[in-house]
Chain A
Amino acid sequence: MNKHLNFTKKESRLYMSFMYVTFASLLIGGLMGLLQTFARSGKFQLPFGINYYTILTVHGVILGLVLTTFFIIGFQFALLGKTVGLSDKQRKWAWISFWTMLIGTVIAAVTILVGQANVLYTFYAPLRAHVAFYIGLALVIVGSWIAVFTNFRQLYVWKKAHPGEKSPLLAFMVTINMAMWFIASLGVAASVLIQFIPWSLGYAETINVLLSRTLFWYFGHPLVYFWLLPAYMAWYAIIPKIIGGKLFSDSLARLSFILLLMFSIPVGFHHQLTEPGIDPTWKFIQVVLTFMVVIPTLMTAFSIFATFETTGRRKGYKSLFGWFRHLPWKDVRFLAPFIGMVAFIPGGAGGIVNASHQVNTLIHNTIWVTGHFHLTVATTVILTYFGVAYWLVPHLTGRRLTPKLNKLGIIQTIIWTLGMTIMSTSMHIQGLLGGPRRSNFSNYAGGAQVDTWINYQIAQAVGGTILFVAIILMTYIFIQLAFFAPRGVQEFPIAEEEIDAEPTPKILENWYLWIGITIALILFAYTIPVIDILKHSPPGSIPFDWPIGR
């Protein structure tokens, strides 16, 4: 059994720095979201002549890229610090990673705020933002790579010191997530460094639009798994401890992470299904590969509920659903992630619709898609992150999650769920009726169809307002846990294996094998279509500044 290490003050300060950026991002990004729903209701005008698409870009970049990346990297550093340790030298590299990412974020944020980058977080060419925006993004990615290699080094050093032992489960999971992130972000980094930066500076006259989009989505889908996997880490290896149980199966947890690694990347075309320049057969092949993710997802669902039932029965709840009724509903460390799990059922079902080749045509680029990722990332993932923060933050600051703060957390979770149910449901319905995403308020040509859309947009403003109340409450709780809660010891919950658990097969830690298969699948899914794209490419596109108000 692994001993868990105690954090030094210096380590705690490092991990907390990532949390400060996370929760500052939540407040700023959330405010932008609120303003968007107000503007889209048609009842309010944005003040001071602020452009709708500026706040939309801030919202996407700050919440989709900054909040997530900072939380994940901070959380993963803490997990590795707990399970395999962090040397002084590794801590220095972690700080370099933090500052590189933060400087990149600030550069990109300022460029957006002065109106030089109204390109949204996907920055599709040939809209051209100021070069500082691309440089800022590149720095965020490079900073994250420093974290990747520091994490790899942490596990490597531990393995050297523990020959023949299997790596701690959470350290294994972090390594999978970082391997996926590194392989995937090579695509967007190549696009930014080789395509966007020279083109935005005028060194390259034109850009290959389809190639840039393909490289973006090669990265864009694994990006969402990069958000999800830390939530899975908590579900597999932390929640069982919180409910007083044991790990369901170390091997199955590892296997499911390996499958997620393999099937996260060769699937980007399912974001490009309605594009004119990609062979439909290759689209379909990537659709099939996308759906392989169903396997680890079903395994995860099974293992979570098996843990719930086993734990409950061991505590003596014998009736058919007694184990369920007696889950720790009043513990926010459990409740928030649990609601996240429930939201993943409609979220996952919606995802199946999105990825279904021709069915995608019905909802592509409608606000259904926005509704979908507000269920998945903005409910499933974020409520699990909150569930982690309730114990991680006081653990790092040497404070306690008091019963009062726990209660506030439960209220926060309920308000969030209510607001998101209203907002996401109305987005889904409006999308099915054809309402577009990423659009400021518009009457278009008028008529009954447009009137219906606007009614749903008003519902979204109601949901958005409730969500913002939840965000303010979460910010308050974070500040309390960081600075004011009473001193004490808050547990860092890590589930243990059953005493009689079967040994984990060695092959699950054969990195050459799994990363080799991952790369082989990527080459299979992308080589021929990318050669096609290059061979049949039309004349490139010159940059366009005026459409984004530059």
Chain B
Amino acid sequence: MHLHKYEKIWLVFGLGSLALFLLIIGFAAFWKGTHPQSHIETIDPQNVEAHESFKPENLGLREVADGKYIVNIVASAFNYDIGSDDAGKPVKTIRVPKGSTVLFQVTTKDVVHGFQVAGTNVNMMVEPGHISRLETVMKNAGEFTVVCNEYCGIGHHQMFATVEVYDE
């Protein structure tokens, strides 16, 4: 089978770029730890409260160390349960200072949902039986919309929350 000289050059150039490209994303993933979220931790979708992180009193934002936060969230059609405030009203906004490190832990007690903090790198599938987990540093101040970005039923577009990053 004959390959034209130009085609050889073209393919060598293409394959070289491909190899370099794969090396870069592989390096970032395995050495820099930027893998997409995968924790393979399971949970009973019909009894998420049995898990320490998803007990009703543990939902919402918690500061675990200076500048380090954990947010526990239970998704269900068509709501994110982020706990309730002192008056007993459901929390809709997560407020953290700029520069803080936030670990989002999300699970679902019914169907598949999405969890994206639009404008950041936090973007996860949330599936029944699994815990989705991603840590990020909130570098920019502002209001970020949290959207369910996986179809979960006819109220899918009404499922949202807000992350507010404020200047200290």
Task: Name A residues whose Cβ lies closer than 8 Å to a Cβ of B.
Answer: 51-53, 118, 120, 124-127, 209-210, 213, 249, 251-252, 255, 272-280, 283-284, 287-288, 291, 294-295, 298-299, 302, 306, 352, 356-362, 364-366, 433-442, 444-445, 447-450, 502, 504-505, 532, 536-542, 544, 546-549
Contacts and interface: CB of A to CB of B under 8 A. Distances in A.
A436 B114 contact: yes
Nearest to B47: A539
Given A209-B129, A434-B118, A434-B147, A538 B42 contact: yes
Given A249-B2, A437-B149, A538-B42, A274 B123 contact: yes
Nearest to A127: B111
Interface stretch (B61-69, B81-89, B158-166): B158-166
B119 A434 contact: yes
Given A53-B151, A538-B130, 13 more contacts: A53-B154, A118-B153, A283-B35, A287-B22, A295-B14, A302-B10, A358-B29, A364-B125, A439-B147, A502-B1, A544-B153, A547-B77, A548-B153
B20 to A, nearest CB: 12
17 contacts: A127-B112, A210-B130, A213-B112, A252-B1, A252-B3, A277-B38, A277-B127, A280-B36, A358-B36, A365-B116, A439-B147, A442-B157, A449-B144, A538-B44, A544-B111, A548-B154, A549-B154
A247 B12 CA distance: 23
Given A280-B35, A449-B119, A434 B29 contact: no
Interface of B: 1-4, 6-7, 10-11, 14-15, 18, 21-22, 25-26, 28-30, 34-46, 77-78, 92-93, 110-112, 114, 116, 118-119, 121, 123-133, 143-145, 147-158, 160-162
Contacts of B4: 306
The 4 closest A-B pairs by CB, nearest first: A547-B153, A434-B118, A538-B129, A538-B42
B145 A360 contact: no
Contact of B121 (A210, A280, A361): A361
- Which of B10, B42, B124, B154 has most A Cβ within 10 Å? B154
Contacts of A505: 1
Nearest to B15: A295
Contact of A445 (B39, B43, B162): B162
Nearest to B153: A547
Nearest to A363: B123
A444 B154 contact: no
Contacts, number: 231
Contacts of B37: 274, 276
A504 B2 CA distance: 10
B125 A275 contact: yes
Contact of B116 (A352, A366, A537): A366
A411 to B, nearest CB: 35
Contact of A276 (B7, B125, B143, B161): B125
B77 A276 contact: no
B132 A276 contact: yes
A359 B155 CA distance: 29
Contacts of A272: 125
Nearest to A445: B162
Contacts of B151: 53, 120, 124, 438-439
B158 A442 contact: yes
B1 A445 contact: no
Nearest to A251: B1
A546 B110 CA distance: 11
Contacts of A280: 29, 35-36, 38
